[in-house]
Structure 1
Amino acid sequence: MKQHFFWISAYFLLILGSCKSLQEKGNDQFLSGQYQYAINTYTQILSGDSSNLEANRVIAESYRLSNRIEKSEPYYKQLVEKEPSFDAYFFLGQSLKAQQKNAEAKEAFEKGKGYTSDEALLARNQREIEAIKLAEGIENYWPKHELVNYKELNTPGADYAPVLSEDFLYFTSGRQASGIYPATGTPYTKLFRARADGLKVDVGAVQALPEFKNEEGLNQAAIAISPDGNTIIYARGNSTSSKDLPDVALFVSYFRGAGFTQPIWMPVNEDETWWNSTPAFSPDGSELYFASNRPGGFGGIDIWKATRLANSDFGNPVNLGPTINTPGNEMFPRLAADGKFFFSSDGHPGYGKLDLFVAEKNESGTQVIRNLGQNINSKADDFGIFFTEYPKAGFISSNREDGVGDDDIYFFEDKTPKPKIVNVLLNVYTKEAKADGTQAVLPQTRVVLYGSDNKQQGGDFSNTNGRVRFTMAPDSDYTIIASRGGYFSKSIPYTTKGKTPDPTTLVQEVTNITLDTTIVLDQLILEKAIVLENIYYDLDKAEIRPDAAVELDKLVKILADNPAIRIELSSHTDSRSSDAYNLDLSQRRAQSAVDYMVSKGIAADRLVAKGYGETQLIIKDAKTEEEHQTNRRTEFKVIEIREQ
């Protein structure tokens, strides 16, 4: 971005004896903003007198004011050696910083402190020192984005600030130039367009802007097009004609009927002597953002916002404030649809000159500024971001090394590898438990799959083979519920964790993993006693032991899976004590079991505790301990099935 964006500073030069006429020429060139011509003239003076301070000063300032401060280092070094001042050290530091000579830059800024007591200058100087430190910790905002020079579109001159509108890419270029811009010695720029589909540009059919004619002998740059395509705003200026405007200003053209109107000066410029450029519309077209050096800002160039009025004009511009704007330069704004604000700045911590930044809100709602990082930015100027697919793809502009020409257009894409997809196909087989201990296929069983969030993710009836198939995700937890009339419903947990391969080891884009599981249902028969195995009590005790609790938890689950049933839980003893004692003990044990299940969330009205003592012996003449244990049992039976 070596041209088109700088204002002319007044400067007084001393006229020295033998070189008086040459210095007068160079002085006039410098004061009129013809910085490259002034550099050429004063270089001739330095060839005969390398220690000429005025020549070094003018060349240094000319490079700085034409945004080539990195080339000013040797000239500012001459000044700090012979006539040290705060300005000389400060601008030397900026020149070194632009070349990423950070240690030397910091030294220059530190030395500059001794040449001023102005608190504002010292604060700005300290900000530069802190920025160097902060730049060392910058992380890439989009780690997987890759930047590529659009070589087929670029030329040896300037090409920058592309925007996409209605299948055309509009941009600024020095091709087909009709003159040389004296400030930089590079061709004047015009506006062009080419057909485009996202990042794909028809580079063989670039044409000069057809909506209205480019003017000759000045710069036309940084175009903005409203979302509806009916308004074009661009920056125009740098004419050498004394009859033209003194500085860069925003011009607008409207679509009216058969075509666009002749561009006119916008009232939002306010003053002809102010520099206004790099316009951009908000996504809905209701706001215009642009850069300006008008009074009331926080530094050299600030970003301002104007809101569209009812008559389609834009109201009084408002400065975006000190979070975005700095004592340096901010320009090339771009508001994204999600509220993130992108812009270029040389005042926030970065890698050299203009870097691309984003302003976004953190978790607490405070706006913070983030450098986009080294995969997007460089030590040169990086600016003019435009998204073709937010935030995955788009364009930026840069004059970094190894480009095709001056400013070049680059495109970026998110190169995050597509994740390998693993589908888990689970076959659920439904079976029933037979009285002889075998299992048989149980078709037409309703099977439902629930995720860890308890939301249903699938459901169907098992086929004639007793199979239902579900598609599941890797590393996830599920619950499967099977139900059929005349059978106890059953729910089982199922996890795919640890059952699938690591996606990073896969070659194919999609891999299917097939797994199997079986759910066995028991018949639900009223008044049929079912023995609960392994329910033990201590001698002459009714308290629930930990091992008995494990078994009772299984019954709790059956009741939870079958909310319509009501059961009787019974306890039986052997015959080795009195009838009365055994009856009392069994009742207490049955009640303890019921109380335990109530404590686990089962409604008390669904449970009946019944102690039978030794009245229902399985082996009436038990003699061995094994036979007595068979008689000492806990059972349950369904005594009611309630309507749901």
Structure 2
Amino acid sequence: MKNHFLWITFILLMSLNACKSLQEKANDQFLSGQYQYAINSYSQILESDPDNQEANLAVAESFRLSNRIEDAGPYYEKLVEEDPSFDLLFRLGQSLKAQEKDEEAIEAFEKAKGFTQDESLLAETQRQIEAINLANGIEEYFPNYVLVNYNELNTPGADYAPVTNDNFIYFTSGRRASGIYPADGSPYTKLFRTRAEGLRVDVGNIQTLPEFQNEEGLNQAAIAISPDGNTIIYARGNSTSPKDLPETALFASYFRGSGFTQPIWMPVNEDEFWWNSTPAFSPDGEELYFASNRPGGYGGIDLYKATKLANGDFGNPVNLGPNVNTPGNEMFPRLTADGKFFFSSDGHAGYGKLDLFVAEKDASGNQVIKNLGENFNSPADDFGIFFTNYPKEGFISSNREGGVGDDDIYFFEDKTPKPKIVNVLLNVYTKQRVAGEPDAVLEQARVVLYDDNNEQSGGDFSNSNGRVRFTLEPNADFTIIASKTGYFSKSIPYTTVGKTPNPEDLIQEVTNITLDTTIVLDQLILEKSIVLENIYYDLDKADIRPDAAVELDKLVQILKDNPSIKIELSSHTDDRSSDEYNLDLSQRRAQSAVDYLVSQGISRDRLVAKGYGESQLIIQNATTEEEHQVNRRTEFKVIEIIE
């Protein structure tokens, strides 16, 4: 019995020593950033001791620090049950948010507020709550854009951050890895390239980067290539060698004559203990954008801009400020030629972890941040946008559900339906007025079309049928002017507003609508009198009445259309007063009409007022009112054509 007891005691001591050894191993793995190994070790401890607070916390933090906070939820929940605190409840809220459990996430954030009086922590917690609420009202920035997994390009490992340059696509991938990254258990990544034309990628001939050799036992990622193709910048880090750099940093390789140089550490990193990654050039190559966790920022990782110096290096990095950067993480910048700034963030209102955003100027010139919407973003990480044909097509990266592997490359295209085209074909017919006969065809008349900005948009001579054809825009206003030597030039307004069907009612891609209009020209004959109809005056008065002004406006238009003519405007009376009185009245009326024309912009030098009284009666010995009205008339005649 005694020997049996000693044997049991020995077994228990051995078990305790093994647990202690595993605990120490797990702690060492966690502290050295080998989070996946730490998760495996702590999980073994939790199998026999599921309530172990230290192990639960280490697993939760390992998932969070290796960008898998959605997997940390059950561990934070267990910790909160035992000993709730602000930090644990806040992290639980983040995990629930990443799992799209919005109501539970808000509840956790609200509870977290009760465990702190720190104003900055309260503000950040409230911002997390507001971000969840704001995400429900996000509109798609690029409506009708479709995102597709590039299945043939992706592998079961990580494939992300593609860029194109000189008919090649460059990207990061875990294929052909020589080791495992202990932080998340994924293969180390290298830089690859293959030929590409737009979105068409030669997936059968992918090769490792030929410009310089990928290194083994570390991650090489997030490549940027200068617009001229002579500079390559990428992020390098995560080596387990104690002789290597302690943190991820930017390296640069330069084309020198026959090839690229070996990559070198860039001065823009400034400190070897600062994390620097996700570089991108400005469209002109004069600025370098990148992400960094250097001190003085607004959150975990911020975006910075560095300017090219005289020696070709990039220096003087500037934080992009609190409008772009948040207490969260911002990375993968992309500036476009029109000044829009695309980036990824988990700090602005979004759908989960990293979302794609754009910073642009509003109508007032203020910079506003917009989420690209649900057709680009998901509850997972969405990042690394690159346009192959801005803004119509390009690539992004994502580790969303349904992918081929870990991070996958996706391509997007603008699938907005092409608008139905309506062509308005206008036939303009030119005719001449012939007294006592129907209007006759007038060929070789010059017809000119002007748009609503008074810019000429077409012109031709009428053919033997008197026709000129124009193609007009729908729902627009125009002016048509017809002219020919020996005729009064004439302008008419023309509109296509309301004369075409609604595009949504159309079936065919292109619909032609044919319309007709006619312009009739009068012969221009010197000294030939032309009666202006409906020019009436009140009895014994010379004032221009409103109805007379309407008719005189037609003469204004004739004079504007024919700027080279000079006219005599004459007034005639009936014979029911004395000759002297009628002569004076007609002169005053003629002058009143001339004064009106001048008020409408017609030069006085082109006008002569002449009163004829009753000296040119059309009907002699008139007896009826109708006959007297025929004699009371206003006429004009061209008395000179100014060359």
1:6 is matched with which residue?
A: none
Q: Following TM superposition, by how much is the alpha carbon of 1:585 offset from its aligned partner in structure 2, in angstroms?
A: 2.7
1:8 is matched with which residue?
A: none
Alpha-carbon separation, structure 1, partners of 2:323 and 2:82:
38
- Cα deviation code 1:468-520 (max 9, x no counterpart): 22221111111111111221111111111222222333333333322222111
Q: Following TM superposition, by how much is the alpha carbon of 1:355 offset from its aligned partner in structure 2, in angstroms?
A: 0.7
2:582 is matched with which residue?
A: 582
Alpha-carbon separation, structure 2, partners of 1:252 and 1:584:
97
2:10 is matched with which residue?
A: none
Alpha-carbon separation, structure 2, partners of 1:603 and 1:318:
64
1:85 is matched with which residue?
A: 85
**AA in 2 matched with 1:254:** Y
2:629 is matched with which residue?
A: 629
Relative to structure 1, the CA distance from residue 365 to residue 17 in structure 2 (aligned partners, 3 Å threshold; closer, same or farther) is farther
Q: Does 612-621 or 572-581 show the bigger shift?
A: 572-581
2:249 is matched with which residue?
A: 249
Relative to structure 1, the CA distance from residue 267 to residue 632 in structure 2 (aligned partners, 3 Å threshold; closer, same or farther) is closer
Q: Following TM superposition, by how much is the alpha carbon of 1:162 offset from its aligned partner in structure 2, in angstroms?
A: 0.4
**AA in 2 matched with 1:454:** N
- Cα deviation code 1:313-357 (max 9, x no counterpart): 222322222221111111111111122111111111111100111
1:483 is matched with which residue?
A: 483
2:128 is matched with which residue?
A: 128
Matches within 5 A, 1:27-426: 27-426=27-426
**AA in 1 matched with 2:614:** E
- Aligned partner of residue 416 in structure 2, secondary structure: coil
1:544 is matched with which residue?
A: 544
Alpha-carbon separation, structure 2, partners of 1:519 and 1:230:
64
Q: Following TM superposition, by how much is the alpha carbon of 1:455 offset from its aligned partner in structure 2, in angstroms?
A: 1.0
Q: Following TM superposition, by how much is the alpha carbon of 1:617 offset from its aligned partner in structure 2, in angstroms?
A: 1.1
1:462 is matched with which residue?
A: 462
Alpha-carbon separation, structure 2, partners of 1:545 and 1:266:
85
1:615 is matched with which residue?
A: 615
State whether structure 2 residue 446 is matched by structure 1 residue 433. no
- Aligned partner of residue 314 in structure 2, secondary structure: coil
**AA in 2 matched with 1:192:** F
Alpha-carbon separation, structure 1, partners of 2:512 and 2:19:
84
Q: Following TM superposition, by how much is the alpha carbon of 1:415 offset from its aligned partner in structure 2, in angstroms?
A: 1.4
- Cα deviation code 1:408-467 (max 9, x no counterpart): 000111112222222222222211111224222222212111111111112222223222
- Cα deviation code 1:154-173 (max 9, x no counterpart): 11111100010111111111
**AA in 2 matched with 1:640:** E
- Aligned partner of residue 344 in structure 2, secondary structure: strand
1:445 is matched with which residue?
A: 445
Alpha-carbon separation, structure 2, partners of 1:598 and 1:484:
26
- Aligned partner of residue 542 in structure 1, secondary structure: coil
2:13 is matched with which residue?
A: none
- Aligned partner of residue 317 in structure 1, secondary structure: strand
- Cα deviation code 1:125-157 (max 9, x no counterpart): 222222223222221111122111111111111
- Aligned partner of residue 316 in structure 2, secondary structure: coil
Q: Following TM superposition, by how much is the alpha carbon of 1:271 offset from its aligned partner in structure 2, in angstroms?
A: 2.0
2:9 is matched with which residue?
A: none
- Cα deviation code 1:577-614 (max 9, x no counterpart): 33233223322322232222222222223222222222
Alpha-carbon separation, structure 1, partners of 2:77 and 2:546:
86
- Aligned partner of residue 160 in structure 2, secondary structure: strand
1:598 is matched with which residue?
A: 598
Q: Following TM superposition, by how much is the alpha carbon of 1:401 offset from its aligned partner in structure 2, in angstroms?
A: 0.8
**AA in 1 matched with 2:19:** C
Alpha-carbon separation, structure 2, partners of 1:25 and 1:209:
37
- Aligned partner of residue 77 in structure 1, secondary structure: helix
- Aligned partner of residue 117 in structure 1, secondary structure: coil
TM-score by length of 1: 0.94
Q: Does 28-37 or 573-582 show the bigger shift?
A: 573-582
**AA in 2 matched with 1:307:** T
**AA in 2 matched with 1:201:** V
- Cα deviation code 1:276-329 (max 9, x no counterpart): 111111212222221111112111111122222222222232222222111111
Alpha-carbon separation, structure 2, partners of 1:306 and 1:479:
54
Q: Following TM superposition, by how much is the alpha carbon of 1:18 offset from its aligned partner in structure 2, in angstroms?
A: 8.5
What value does the CA root-mean-square deviation take over the aligned residues? Answer: 1.7
Q: Does 404-413 or 225-234 show the bigger shift?
A: 225-234
Alpha-carbon separation, structure 2, partners of 1:313 and 1:603:
69
Q: Does 233-242 or 583-592 show the bigger shift?
A: 583-592
- Cα deviation code 1:10-34 (max 9, x no counterpart): xxxxxx9983222112111111111
Relative to structure 1, the CA distance from residue 316 to residue 544 in structure 2 (aligned partners, 3 Å threshold; closer, same or farther) is closer
**AA in 1 matched with 2:481:** I
Alpha-carbon separation, structure 1, partners of 2:284 and 2:277:
20
Alpha-carbon separation, structure 2, partners of 1:284 and 1:602:
55
- Aligned partner of residue 315 in structure 1, secondary structure: strand
Alpha-carbon separation, structure 2, partners of 1:120 and 1:56:
27
1:5 is matched with which residue?
A: none
Alpha-carbon separation, structure 1, partners of 2:582 and 2:552:
22
Alpha-carbon separation, structure 1, partners of 2:283 and 2:642:
61
- Aligned partner of residue 19 in structure 1, secondary structure: helix
Q: Following TM superposition, by how much is the alpha carbon of 1:103 offset from its aligned partner in structure 2, in angstroms?
A: 1.9
**AA in 2 matched with 1:488:** F
TM-score by length of 2: 0.94
- Aligned partner of residue 78 in structure 1, secondary structure: helix
Alpha-carbon separation, structure 1, partners of 2:536 and 2:307:
81
Alpha-carbon separation, structure 2, partners of 1:268 and 1:595:
78
**AA in 1 matched with 2:512:** N
**AA in 1 matched with 2:432:** E
**AA in 1 matched with 2:95:** S
Alpha-carbon separation, structure 2, partners of 1:376 and 1:248:
28
Alpha-carbon separation, structure 2, partners of 1:311 and 1:538:
89
**AA in 2 matched with 1:589:** R
Matches within 5 A, 1:489-568: 489-568=489-568
**AA in 2 matched with 1:549:** A
Q: Does 601-610 or 528-537 show the bigger shift?
A: 601-610
- Cα deviation code 1:504-549 (max 9, x no counterpart): 3333333332222211111111111111122222333333333222
Pairs aligned (count) = 628
Alpha-carbon separation, structure 2, partners of 1:273 and 1:282:
26
**AA in 2 matched with 1:142:** F
